[in-house]
């Protein structure tokens, strides 16, 4: 019994309870904290604006090879904007040029010229060939 009490007394001596909950208040420097002025600059990670495929190319009704790349090889229908990926202005120019060429007897309406069938596919369409 007494040994237990001794042990308890020893325990109280040795175990120095440190109240970890107490926050130490750090002494703020007397001088005013000077914040660094924000350096204003243009976003350095900005990516260059991407243009459409025909950005720097003039569209002409006589250039039927170029125009034939935007029509279906089976039916000769003009592809929409979601397929060609052209911007508004160029899509309209291409569409108008195709209709002009078809009316003037330069380009066929119902099919694509067989000479241009092997041209690279710039429209995002997968044909079931």
Residues lying near other proteins in the complex (CB under 8 A): 48-52, 54-56, 58, 62, 87, 89-90, 100, 102-110, 113
Separation CA 31–CA 21 (nearest Å) = 29
Answer left, alpha or beta for residue 100, where phi above 0 means left and psi between -120 and 50 means alpha.
alpha
Residue (9 or 89) nearer to other proteins, CB: 89
Separation CA 90–CA 55 (nearest Å) = 8
Residue (34 or 56) nearer to other proteins, CB: 56
Separation CA 63–CA 119 (nearest Å) = 14
Residue (18 or 48) nearer to other proteins, CB: 48
Residue (114 or 120) nearer to other proteins, CB: 114
Q: Shortest gap between Cβ of 24 and other proteins (angstroms)?
A: 57
**Dihedral angle, C-alpha 2, 7, 11, 12, nearest 10 °:** 10
Q: Shortest gap between Cβ of 87 and other proteins (angstroms)?
A: 4
Q: Shortest gap between Cβ of 74 and other proteins (angstroms)?
A: 16
Of the candidates 116, 69, 55, the one whose C-alpha atom is nearest the C-alpha of residue 97 is 69
Q: Shortest gap between Cβ of 85 and other proteins (angstroms)?
A: 10
């Amino acid at each position: 019994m007494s040994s237990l009490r001794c042990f308890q007394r020893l325990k109280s001596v040795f175990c120095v309870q440190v109240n970890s909950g107490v926050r130490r208040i750090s002494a703020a420097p007397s001088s005013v904290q000077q914040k660094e002025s924000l350096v204003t600059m243009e976003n350095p990670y900005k990516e260059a604006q991407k243009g459409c495929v025909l950005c720097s190319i003039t569209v002409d009704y006589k250039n039927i090879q170029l125009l034939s790349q935007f029509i279906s090889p089976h039916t000769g229908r003009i592809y929409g904007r979601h397929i060609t990926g052209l911007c508004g202005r160029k899509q309209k120019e291409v569409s108008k040029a195709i209709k002009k060429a078809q009316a003037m007897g330069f380009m066929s309406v119902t099919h694509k010229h067989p000479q241009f069938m092997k041209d690279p596919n710039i429209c995002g369409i997968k044909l079931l060939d």
